[in-house]
Amino acid sequence: MRDAEGLLPAAPGAGARSFLAFDYGTRRVGVASGNTLLGQATPLTTLTQEGDARFAAIARLLDEWHPDALVVGVPVFPDGAAHENTRRAQRFARQLQGRFGLPVHEVDERYTTTEALAAGARGDAADAAAAAIILEQHLHALDARRGGHAAGGHAEPSHG
């Protein structure tokens, strides 16, 4: 039986699921990697390419990291209402799924950039740090749904 993400549950002793996460922006896209084994994410890079060049850079990252699924942060207003950047991020998520055929999970990314800046990230590194926060939220939510207790951080709903 598949879980809420449409993935088969991991059998005891099965390998960890790996993810690449994206903090989407029209000018920059932060990227982070992580997995369910450690429940942690690491900032990787910030992409500044646009259009097809951006997707070519993402394809190279996918070839290097071989993730099982992708995570995209989707911004919303503090009250949860959608806005123009919500729709842009959701379109980016659909493009990733369509181009690369991997499951894509959308995660509420409210305040992740603020959190990354508060932790000391600056410039382009802030986008990659925000992507890591988005991924850790997703990993903690997965762990909480399975009855686990992810260390540190806070679990927020993952929409996917």
Successive 10-residue mean pLDDT values, the chain, 160 residues: 42 72 96 95 97 97 98 96 96 98 97 93 94 97 75 40
Strand residue runs (E) in 4-144: 18-23, 29-35, 40-47, 69-74, 104-108
Closest CA to 14 of 36, 39, 40: 36
Q: What is the pLDDT of residue 148?
A: 63
Domains of the chain (ranges, CATH numbers): 18-159 (3.30.420.140)
Q: Are 127 and 28 in contact (CB under 8 A)?
A: yes
Separation between Cα atoms, residue 46 and residue 111, nearest integer Å: 18
- Half-sphere exposure of residue 76, counting CA atoms within 13 Å on the CB side? 13
Q: What is the pLDDT of residue 147?
A: 76
Separation between Cα atoms, residue 133 and residue 113, nearest integer Å: 9
